[in-house]
Structure 1
Amino acid sequence: MKILLVEDDELLIAVLTKSLAEHHYIVDVVKDGEMGWTYGSTFDYDLILLDIVLPKLDGIHLCQRLRAEGYTTPILLLTAQNASTAKVSGLDAGADDYVVKPFDLPELIARIRALLRRSNASSFPLLVWGDLLLNPSTCEVSYNGHPLTLTNKEYELLELLLRDSQHLLSADEILDRLWSSDEFPSEATVRSHIRRLRHKLVSVGAPSDFIATVHGRGYYLKAPDPLVQKDLPTPPLLGAQDSSNHSTRQEMYLAFLNEQWINTKPRSLEQVKNIFQVLQKLKSGELDPQLQTQAYQIAHKLTGTLGTLGLTIAMQSASQLENLLKSQTLLKKNQLEILEALAISLENSIQSIDSICNAPVAAISDFAFSLLEQDASQMVIKVMIVDDDIDCLRSLLRLLKPWGFKVTTLADPKDFWTVLQSVLPDVLVLDVNMPQVNGIEICQALRSNLDWRRLPVLFLSVMNDANTQNLAFSVGADDYLCKPVVGVDLVNRIHNRLQRIKAYQ
């Protein structure tokens, strides 16, 4: 899958390209709206990630321009503007979804996958060709039950061949689909990857011509003989991943962010200096709307950058600057003094940050400490989580594992009652919006069932509006949390609900 990222924040570009590459996406990056138009209208992309505040042509007008010309590629807007009017403008311009900076990377990846699924509704979750099985949700590949360990590019190549299994793919087509425009690979690169992929397939029992070649024209998957469509294995419920691996990944990501901060800190201080210069000009009587817009755009970029790094205090100062600079058509003298004080606070915050540490977490309750002190074998609290977002399920498993819960996840709500009877959970966590049957309907059915009406139900959803939350409570929800959620918050909410039930009994 190939994505066009239109963004001018260097740090966000680095973070997003790294994260997207880890999820096997190919990324082209351009840094202004005009180049976004050139690339978006010239090359084929599966999705466009588009910032709103851009040089030369802003994201709203670029989105309108693409839609006016008939381009149907899914567009996901990225911005630090959290106002509902900005969201409405973006969606009215033709965007398919909208994410506010700073955003949770797993949530962004999940939204990208959701858009890609909707734009390619015919694609089956599991890709199968004879004895070969590729699961795009988990990036796992096996041949006749034997797992295959592939590099990112080998995986992408195999997925492309599977998705276009009825199509002869030329080397040029493969290069265009799997390499970004600034890598400039040659046909020899494609041949090399095909050769290594064949070798790995043969090592687990595939025929040597499983990937067939038409010399001078391209490559395709040879039809199995005979072509028998086997029953697809049912993917198991996701199990908890090893916490040490998770810890290692977190440490590596934290090291990556600190590397970025080495270059970002002086650039951020330079941006604050530019804001000071603009404020001094405005203060001296040069009440120029263009200068104010310039300061607003700088503050906007700082908000996104600092939020991406999880530097909450500094981000809040930048966000306040951004909102004040945008809210007034032309600033008055007393407002300039407030802005100057905010800019000083922002500069001090940035100066004080030598390295990025783990983001602060919510206060840990006595119950959380008691969980850590107890022997894991004594933990009997069973939590069942129902959410069609597999990335969210994985994230929740990682968040809850350190606290000793026995967690069962379910991605397909159609199997809810079967799994519920099998697991007999102590607590149920539900998403609101799911295909075929939503969390509201499940909760309503539980409250009408004599066997299950007392089961504690917590909702966990991206929907943070009052109407949805009131509806959830009206059908019997015990609690409602908004994504993204801190693990300790969820642990405390689960504990509080169980404690109340125990007290009632």
Structure 2
Amino acid sequence: MRILLVDDDDALREVLTQRLSVENYAIDTAKDGQQGWEHISTYDYDLVILDVVMPQLDGVNLCKHLRSQGHTVPILLLTSQDSHDAKLTGWEAGADDYVVKPFNEAELIARIRALLRRSHTNPLPILTWGELWLNTNTGDSLYGGRELSLTAKEYALLEMMLRDSQHVFSSEEILDSLWASEAFPAEATVRSHVRRLRNKLTAAGAPPDFIATAHGHGYYLKAIAGAAVAYPPSPPDIIVPQATDTDIPNTTPSPQPPAPLTEQQRQYQTLLNQTWQQHQANCLAKVGQLQSAVGDLAQNRLAATAQAEAYRLAHTLSGTLGTFGLHQAMQLSRQIEQEIHPDLYLESSQAQALSQLTTNLHRLISSTITLPLDDAPNASNHDQTVRIMVVDDDPIFLQTIFHQLQTSGFDVSTLDDPQQFWQTLETTSPDVLLLDVQMPQISGLELCEKLRTNPSWQKLPVMFLSIFGDAQTQHRAFSVGADDYLAKPITGQQLSNRIHQRLQRVRLLSG
């Protein structure tokens, strides 16, 4: 990807050029706003970094001018001004992000990656195509589980093709995207890089035409029959809800009855039912509070704060019910959650429908004496005990997941107060961190973002486990450094498998 850096500080330009080049970016530089404008008028860039204070044409005015001329390229402003008014001026000029000098290089790189992801068709940091896997956060690349040893240009070429996997890239496009303007490479350079990249992919097990040639047009990724990646591709580490038997015709034989539960699994099911019996009344109390809020809505006296509290209750209830495998009740709670979102203006006419939803939810919860049989986790056969730290503000969920993971052989620590996160993290020293997305005081997204700027914890595997299954929330999680994202509800066996898969991948990448 090609970046333009505009700054009148010679030393900063040199240092950043070297640092960004290491990250596989092609860098053009300019020392003032006028030169920057000339570059942008001549070349196409994936990102523009502007210093605010520069001679001839400052960064804010250049940013305004670019936006007035219809340029949509992401713009990041660099400045020593940390005041609210200075930042507001930058936002109003059309900037996409604002970084204050002196800055942490790792933070700047993370911001750049996030901006570049948001501006591309596929905004996710994990890119896949068949058995090819690229992690743009770490620069790691694998094919069929085998590590690829790529040069910076080979990696950048592969990333560009994965970002827009339906596009045929001409030699000119590749040259413009991957080489700085002063490099002046020939088209033969592109052919050479493509040939070497093909050889490395083939050596790892890829077909010879994995990167195919459209004669007279350019290069593209060949479609792979049965590839798991659609367009745009979903990250490989997100559990996507499977189609139900009402979505597709039944053309396969009836499944065999499940194998009988082991003694350990029976003990787990018993424990889960005991936990449900302890918390069923609490769930019904939450429904009662929701019904009270609906009653206030019917009387046109539901305050904004009460609506926000009702939304929080419905959200927590959704996660709890999903954890216990009560999927129908969870869906009702999710529907209530969506209907009473704090951003929505509610009218008394909506109370009747909400009242019916809460009544049905109360009936389902109160009639559930024994939980439906779900996949109970098996004990792990791994020799080394894995330490798991789980952060979630729902104590019922924490209690349930503690038993799920402990039954699978993990050493589990739970935390329901995110404000004690750092102290607990240091004490626990986990091998894997599980985070909820939405929590009071500080969200899981904020914790993950801060974790990635801490040298001691930058490489700790972080998995989000959340009731939010939408693509936007998943993208936000990956943009702040998540390694995996799982949507509640999830069975104990699924969660155990995903944790072990994540640890295997960490071991593979660490060599």
TM-score by length of 1: 0.49
TM-score by length of 2: 0.49
The structure that is helix-richer by fraction is 1
